[in-house]
Structures are given as C-alpha cells and as structure tokens.
Structure 1
Amino acid sequence: MLRSLARPLVSLTGCKAASTTTGIKPGTKYGGKTTVTLIPGDGVGPEICESVTTIFKEMAVPVEFETIELTKHTLNDEGSFNMAITSLKRNGVGLKGVLNRSGDFRHHNMEFRGNLDTYANVVRAVSFDGIKTHHTGIDLIAIRENTEGEYSCLEHESVPGVVESFKVITREKSMRIAKFAFDYALEHNRKKVTCIHKANIMKLSDGLFKSCCQEVSELYPTIDYDEQIVDNTCQQLVINPQQFDVMVMPNLYGNLVSNLAAGLVGGAGVVPSKSYGSEIAVFEPGARHTWMEMKGMYVANPVAMVLSSAFMLKHLTLHDAGDKLIQAVKLVLNKQSCKTRDLGGNATTPEMTRAILNELDTLYA
C-alpha cells in the first residue's frame, strides 16, 4: 500500500532548508509532526480539502491539520475569526479555501491578509500537455501585492450619488513586494521580472510603484527587467503569454492577471497559489472562486488545492513528498484518463482524488 511505501520517503533527514525568499520557519512541530491550520472555507472548499486530507493520510506525511470551520455563516462571529487568526499565527502555515462574502462591506479574505500581513501572493500558471488550450508552453509567475492598493477598503459616499474610493500605494510596501519578486526570481532561477502598472494615468500612485520596482531592479543585475502597462499586459497575455516570466504588480492588477493566467492554462481548478508574510505562509487555490452553486455535489476539480498542498509540503521541507504529489497530478492531467467537469469530463472529486493516489502508488512502488 502507498502508506507503507511513503513513510521513509518523507523523512526530514537531509531535507533542504526553508525558502530563502521569505525566511519563514517551516511550521510548528509537535510530536514529530508539523501542525498546519486548515480552513476549508465556503462552497466546494470542504470537498477539495477532503481530497487533500485523504491523500495526506495515504501518503503518511508527518502533517497534522488543525481544522477551523470558518464560513460565510460564522465570519461575523469575532470569536471564530480570531480563533482562525490565532491558529495561523501559532502554526505559521495554513491551507485555506476561499471565504465567501458575508453580505456586508467586510471582506474576510482581505481581513485575513491584513491581520496576518501575508503581503505577497504568488500564482504560478503552467501549461499541462493533457489540457487543450489555445496556448502551450506557458510557465509564468504572477506576484501580487496583497495588502493595499484598491483593496484598502477606504471608500465613502461623499454626497448622495457620489462615491469616493481611495487607492493607497506606499513606498514601504512597494519596495517590499519588489524585493520579494526579485528574490523569488533569483531563488527559482527565473530570468526576467516585469513590472505591471498604469503609471501613464495614475502618475503618482502607480508611478511610485513603478519607480520602486526600477530602484530594486538595479540591485539584481543578473535579472532582466522591463515594464508594461496593465491593459497592454492583458492583450499580450492572450496573444503571446510565453513572453512572461515573473510579473510583479499592485493588488487589483494582480487579481485580474492571475485569473486571466488561470484561464489560459485550464481554469480555476488547476492553478495553485501561496501567500507569504514575514512569519506565515498560507496556501490556497490561485483563482479565488467558491463555486457555491455546486456545493455538496462533489464535482469540483481538486487539483488546484492538491497542488497548493504539494507546494506546502515543499515549504515544510518535505520535498520528496511534495515533488511526487506534483508529479502524480501532472500524470493524471496529461494522461487524460480522469477529467472533472471543468476539463470536459464527468469524473467526480473523489474519482480525481483516487486517480492521483493511483499514480502515487506507481511512483512509490
């Protein structure tokens, strides 16, 4: 069985150090296991998180989940919200589904990022041979500043019928995300960083962001640097996405670009992401959609969450387990033997999970 085969292969002996990009400690350990906060979230989140827990159990990875049931129905309960924040701060690592809006002006996905200061969201969009799309050979990284910009939630109705919304860009946070992007490129052997902006119109706010990226780029002479206006970027992504390597951008543009990139490689069901703070890493699907209408039907594609969990394993220095899980997912997608509804098939979430486990059985044999 996979469990007995996997145990020695995920040993901590001889593992690499934690990521130098973030300097984050790789989780809190109790009794030889690393405790990770699990927040399944809303919609299909619990179903795709169940895929992860099933796979981890079969792989016997030394990870224990502290599950916090936080949904749109409990988000306004400050006790539940604070419990989730406390758990993430204590454990330092989280796996999270998407939280639906609770109906008021609060947006708790954003409150999470603000409370935890998970300032850098990293979405990787990669082409899979088994997913038919308009483009092949895509492998791009979208790095999004996660805590300010248009998402600062500072807006008011100054007079009836007139709403003012404040976009906040600071030098401190722009320098921080720019440095993160170049460090990430250097660590992952990437060749180019592109700053995405709208400084031709927002000359002060986006102009500040762009100038910070330019300033940081001078500290990394081995990495090519260029800039693109965001509307041109969207066009270029559709025409020639292979030109992009690492992209760094303010909050709103990051949301638009990462979702567009997800659509180019197969959709929300196959793109993972990770968000970093100074001491915390949270892993979640790259396109933040709850798919509420399909809740409880077990037809969602779990790949985005499974890949996010694989990158979490690598963050926890369980590199062999993480690499094998990524390889198993790629084999399932490329063989096209099991396809969920979003990929043009009829497989259920448990069937996709079992297909991944079958590939893991072969890899660990």
Structure 2
Amino acid sequence: MDQKFIPLSVPNLKGKELEYVTHAVQTEWVSSVGAYVDSFETKTAEYVNAAGAISVQNGTSGLHVALQVCGVSAGDEVIVPTLTFIAAVNPVKYLSADPIFMDCDDSLCMDPVKLSDFCKEECIFTDGKLINKRTGKYIKAVLVVHVFGNLADMERITEIADEFNLKIIEDATEALGSYYSEGVLKGKFAGTIGTLGVYSFNGNKIITTGGGGMIVSNDKELLKKAKHLTTQAKSDDLYYTHDEIGYNYRMTNVQAAIGLAQLEQIETFIKQKQENYVAYQEGIRKIPGLQMLPFREDIRSNYWFYSLFISEDYPLNRENLIQYLNENKIQARPVWGLINEQKPYLSNQVYKIENAKKYWANVVNIPCSSNLTEEDVQYIINCLKSLGS
C-alpha cells in the first residue's frame, strides 16, 4: 500500500461543526450577527478566564485593533520579536508606527533579558514615557508572541513593562489553551496577562473557524472600544452615525458556529497533541543530531507546533531534510524568515539579534495535527532514524 501524505497541520472537524453550521443556515443567521457569535465570544472568555472577548475576522485584524486601543499611533514605536510570522508585525505599520526588533531566548519567544537591557541602555525613561535615544520616538508598547504554543517569560516581561510604562499586547494566536502551571502567574492563560491578547482561528490553529480571531482582555473599557472599532465605529445603529474611522472586522455567525463546536473539543485536541509530542520526543532523542525543542516546564502548553532542532551531527541540513521528508510524503517547513530581514523592515532598528538566527537556520516544523495517528508519528520517526542512526 502506498504511504499516504501526512500534512503539517490540518483541521480536526469531528464534533458538532456541521450541526451548528446547518442550524445557522437554516435559521438564516449567516452574516456578522447571530447567537453563535455571542456564544463563541462568551465561551472563549470563560475558557481563558477573561472579562470578555470580541470576535474578529482574523488574528491580524485583532492585533491591529489591539494596538490601536492601546494608544499606538503614527510616529510611535513598538518593541516586537523578529522570530515570528510577519502578520504579528505588519499591524504596527498599519498604524504608521515603527517596530523595534528583539531577539528570542531558547523558548523561541522574546528574550526578557535583552528587552530589559534595551530599555535601560538604549532609552530614556522620563515623565512616564520610554523614549528611544536613537530616534527620539515614544515607545508605547511591547508586542509579545507566544511561539508555537510555548509561553514567553511573562512574569519578567510584565515587570519590565510596569517599570517602563509599556502596554503589553499578547499575540497568543498560536497559544490558545496554554497557561502557567507554576509561579506567580499560575492558572493564567496566554492572552490574558497583558493589556489585551489576540487568538487566531486559521485553518492550521489548535481550533479553527476557517478564518477568524478573537480579542480578549480584563479591561472592559478597552473591549468596548475594540468592539466599536471592529463594527465600523457606528455610534447610532439606526441613523448610521460614525464617530471615527472603524473597520469591517466582524466574524460571521457561520464561522462562530464552527468555532463553538471546535472550542468544545479543545482539551481533547491538546491531550492528543501532547501524546504525539511525547511520542516524537521519545523516538527522536535516540537519533544523533536531532532534538525536539522543549516547552517551558512551568506551563501547560497546547503543543500547537513541534520544532525539530538539527545539529551538525545529523547528516542533512535544514533544506535537505525538508526535501527528504517531502519526498517521503511528509510535509515539513522551516521556521519563518526573520522579520527584520524582510524587505519592508530593512531600515527598522534591531537589538542584538543572535539566538533567532541560530533557530532560523536549524529548526524544522514537522506534522502536528490533532488527528495525527500513532502510526503517522512512528513512520515519521522511522524516516528520520533511517538517516541518523
């Protein structure tokens, strides 16, 4: 029998998705309002213990609005990671602000040591404002990405943000369901620690609505402002009065119907992804030159993406390994190209980018879907082992 193709990350639609979508269609509530939108927002907020949630069209639109309600505007600066998907950074430019690129630590998330050093050495803190010595601009916020379901060191980053009066926007688009299991933040979910957090429901995420995203916060006034902006800033529904520039960022009721059914299964998905990660880890630790990158020990991760680190002891480099896996019907990909090296951002400030370069050159993502079988995992391990033993 021919080996089936094993995709990198695909949806798992085995719950009540069809039932809920059918109901939405039958009742003819298919557009941007409806009971499923309200329920999905409520249930998401309850799941992560946030004060509220606002659904949006995707994670990018959520970050755009989150930055805006945090006061980021033209001429400001925002500290961002370089090791991330470009959608985390582009919204800074949407607001005519500028990013400052920060390195990662071994969690692949923003390095809090370098963040602190930058704020102390490269900036002046005066009158409650952090001013960049090089540009003279006001640094208003730090945008933290929780990479691949890991969590950044939010305890330290929160201390730094408090010290320098920075707003924290959490890009938790990859980390819905991840939370701290130890320490002062014990029980806190990704996305609920900073000023606002954003989730994504793209097709490859832990749960999906096909597209879509969600803004969460414990600040009800900011949520109210976010809701206003995402619904075209309409101040009078009857007479179509608009008091500022808004956006058509609303999630549809059909999308929310899928999302609600997905949310009902999230803990099952996480359990399966954890089991698959452990199976990978057990098999791969015996292969010289390969290592599954760990998740932080003080968290319960959602295990969204699995990162395979390749050292010089392995016979293939990153590019050759991806090609080899693809030839064996296993989809794999490199980590994103560093954002500070992308054409639109070549002129933006960077600060001591070192670890990110190492991980960019040596990390490959391997299949991680929640419907990945034991046989799939073993086949992938065997393919890796055939070269590395």
User: TM-score scaled to structure 2, two decimals?
Assistant: 0.28
User: TM-score scaled to structure 1, two decimals?
Assistant: 0.29
Bigger CA radius of gyration: 2
